[in-house]
């Protein structure tokens, strides 16, 4: 089975490091045109500068995606460069610990904005462009949207209240948009992953020597995934091989969500 995305144009957010960067690079290697998007311009250019210098299959875009004008400018850049947008990957996400008993903790608002609202606005704006550009296309999928979620949406942790709520909402956004956009031949799916060696996890592992062992012991495959392992699932969902797949949240977690958190057999 071929997961070809050659010739397609993709926008990938959160693309300066970790999973987003791995997805963008994989897409370019697979023959797609990619707009790498991130707020961290310095890191973004350091990572993909060689790919964009010849203005070939890669472009970079930096800006605050909380602003509607920024989203409009992003889409204009992609269409000006490649004439169309076929794939949107919402890979930007933020994890901030939350005090569940502090009514003044701003983390909930911040997480909902960063992990849910930005993705929703991008989905809406990109879908409109896909529909407009594909107005004369009589058959076939007009576009594929993939949201990056987390198994935190189905697991509860006292320090991750805001993150869990925002990713659970993102999963429901994925399902709802899949139904709403199906008549327009736009597919919407998500990939929910467990512990992946992202930039944020690397930092956490340095601060907590016991964290790695804790993660591995709660993962049946007994390891932490690499960013590339998530990018493979995303490429499948972006490709025509997934043409009849929409509204799904695919889990890539090494079996972690299969375990009983109590650690004893249920009776």
Quickly list DSSP for the chain.
Answer: -----TT-EEEEESTTSHHHHHHHHHHHHTT-EEEEE-S-HHHHHHHHHHHHTTTSSEEEE-S-TTSHHHHHHHHHHHHHHHS---EEEE---------TT-TT-THHHHHHIIIIIHHHHHHHHHHHHHHHHTTT--SS--EEEEEEEEGGGTS--GGGHHHHHHHHHHHHHHHHHHHHHGGGTEEEEEEEE-SB--HHHHHHHHH-TTHHHHHHHT-TT-SPBPHHHHHHHHHHHHSGGGTT--S-EEEESTTGGGS-TTSS---
pLDDT more than 90, % of the chain: 60
Confidence of residue 267 (pLDDT cuts 50, 70, 90): low
CB-CB contact of 181 with 127 (8 Å)? yes
Taking residues 27-52, what's their average pLDDT?
Answer: 92
Window from 57-66, 177-186, 215-224 with minimum mean pLDDT: 215-224
**In 10 A of CB 2, how many CB atoms?**
8
Q: Give the pTM.
A: 0.92
Residue 187 clears pLDDT 90, i.e. is over it: yes
Q: Which domains does the chain have, with CATH numbers?
A: 9-195+228-254 (3.40.50.720)
Confidence of residue 61 (pLDDT cuts 50, 70, 90): very high
Residue 204 clears pLDDT 90, i.e. is over it: no
User: What does the alpha-carbon distance between residue 14 and residue 118 come to, in Å, rounded to a whole number?
Assistant: 12
Q: What pLDDT sits at residue 93?
A: 85
| pLDDT tens column, 67-117 | 999 999 999 999 999 999 999 999 998 888 888 888 878 888 888 999 999
Q: What pLDDT sits at residue 5?
A: 96
Q: What pLDDT sits at residue 144?
A: 98
Q: Which two tokens stand for residue 266?
A: 């249920």
In this predicted model, which residue has the larger pLDDT, 194 or 170?
170
Mean pLDDT computed over every residue of the chain: 89
Q: What pLDDT sits at residue 265?
A: 54
Q: What pLDDT sits at residue 55?
A: 61
| pLDDT tens column, 205-261 | 778 778 888 888 888 888 888 888 899 999 999 999 999 999 999 999 888 888 866
Q: Which two tokens stand for residue 39?
A: 């707020």
Q: What pLDDT sits at residue 262?
A: 60
Q: What pLDDT sits at residue 223?
A: 87
Longest Cα–Cα distance in the chain: 63
Dihedral angle sign, alpha carbons of residues 185, 26, 116, 152: positive
120 contact partners, CB below 8 Å, separation of at least 6: 173
């Amino acid at each position: 089975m071929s997961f070809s995305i050659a010739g397609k144009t993709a926008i990938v957010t959160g693309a300066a490091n970790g999973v987003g960067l791995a997805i963008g690079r994989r897409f370019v290697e697979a023959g797609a045109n990619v707009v790498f998007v991130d707020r961290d311009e310095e890191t973004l250019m350091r990572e993909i500068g060689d790919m964009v210098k010849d203005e070939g299959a890669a472009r970079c875009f930096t800006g605050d995606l909380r602003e509607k004008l920024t989203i409009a400018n992003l889409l204009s850049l992609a269409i000006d460069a490649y004439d169309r947008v076929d794939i949107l990957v919402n890979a930007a996400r933020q994890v901030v610990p939350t005090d569940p008993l502090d009514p003044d903790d701003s983390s909930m608002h911040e997480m909902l904005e960063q992990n849910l609202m930005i993705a929703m606005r991008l989905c809406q704006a990109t879908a409109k462009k896909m529909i407009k550009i594909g107005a004369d296309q009589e058959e076939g999928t007009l576009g594929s949207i993939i949201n990056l979620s987390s198994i935190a949406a189905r697991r509860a942790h006292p320090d991750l209240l805001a993150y869990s709520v925002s990713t659970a909402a993102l999963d429901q956004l994925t399902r709802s948009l899949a139904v709403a956009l199906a008549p327009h031949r736009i597919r919407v799916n998500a990939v929910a992953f467990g512990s992946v060696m992202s930039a944020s996890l690397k930092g956490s592992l340095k601060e907590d020597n016991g964290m790695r062992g804790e993660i591995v012991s709660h993962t049946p495959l007994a390891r932490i995934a690499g960013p590339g392992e998530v990018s493979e699932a995303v490429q499948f969902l972006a490709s025509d091989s997934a043409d009849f797949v929409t509204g799904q949240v695919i889990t890539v977690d090494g079996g972690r969500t299969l375990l009983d958190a109590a650690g004893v057999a249920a009776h």
